[in-house]
Amino acid sequence: MKASPFDIGDANVRQWGSGLVQLVRRNMPKPVMRADRHAIEDWSLIGTAYIAKASGTLESMLMFFTAEEKRVHDASLLLRSLYENVLVFSWIGIDPAANLPRWIKTVCDKGIKTDNDWRTIGMSLLDSRNRAYAETKAHDESVKFAPDNAQMAQNVDDHWHRTYPGHPTITGTDEDFLTFRGLYRHVYRLGSQAAHQDPRSLNEFYTTDATGFTSVHVEKLDRFYLYPWLFGDHVVTLGIAIASSVLGWPSSDEVWAVREAAFAGVET
């Protein structure tokens, strides 16, 4: 079945996503060289783990993409998380020595706030050692906090000049969709409707006919239903392509070969 405004079918999108998951799995388990420091300070560890996590999220999205049923709303929620995962990985990967400490500071600051909330009911998520670590990192004035997601996305695009490893420069109207900043607008902003229960996220769950009769039903598909899986495949493709440069695996040729195989004979 052909679907969406593009000449792309379900099978193309499913093959692309499954191929990316299999590509990462072929490289797992992945031994990493550990330094003598806290695990989250070790780029070789967390960088590799972010890619493994992203491929797992994409695989979960594909579970909502069957011939019998497609759960667009639920897939959109996972897509938002997937995008942020790949965005953080890609931003840290610009300069791990500079950006990883900034990300750790931001995460520790949020962790302290979460721990404080739990302490109001007499419980704590952080033991004394990890609380002290978080306090030290969060209050280190020599390190800046990480930027917000929109600025992270712009930084990633600027660093790669919208030319990701193994792929031609993204130009023209494609910048509005396929760059990290464009994806922020389409994936993260629109995903907020579902994540934060915006009433617009309910549009596919009810129908009003010509007589004015309205009925609520299970989610119905519109012509854009492929969007979370298409964008999910593209996000992971960019992430793994960047991994080919900043982590050294897999090769960028392997990454883009997965896409080419899925869309052989289709003009996208």
Tokens of 168: 């031609």
Separation CA 63–CA 41 (nearest Å): 33
Each of the 268 residues of the chain gets a pLDDT tens digit; together they read 333 334 688 999 999 999 999 999 999 999 988 777 788 999 999 999 999 999 999 999 999 999 888 999 999 999 999 999 999 999 999 999 999 999 999 999 999 999 999 999 999 999 999 999 999 999 999 999 999 999 999 999 999 998 888 887 888 888 888 999 999 998 887 777 778 888 888 888 999 999 999 999 999 988 889 999 999 999 999 999 999 999 999 999 999 999 999 988 665 4
Contact 157, 179 (CB under 8 A): yes
Q: What H or E segment, with its residue span, contains residue 252?
A: helix 252-262
Tokens of 206: 């009810």
Domain definitions of the chain by residue range: 2-97+149-262
pLDDT of residue 3: 34
pLDDT of residue 266: 66
> What pTM, to 2 d.p., does this model score?
0.91
What is the DSSP secondary structure assignment for residue 170, as one 8-state letter? P
pLDDT of residue 5: 37
Contact 158, 118 (CB under 8 A): no
From the CA atom positions of the chain, what is the Rg in Å? 20
pLDDT of residue 7: 62
Separation CA 126–CA 61 (nearest Å): 31
What is the DSSP secondary structure assignment for residue 39, as one 8-state letter? G
Tokens of 1: 């079945």
**Helices 149-160 and 72-94, packing angle to 10 deg:** 60
Instruction: Report which residue type is found at 226.
Output: L
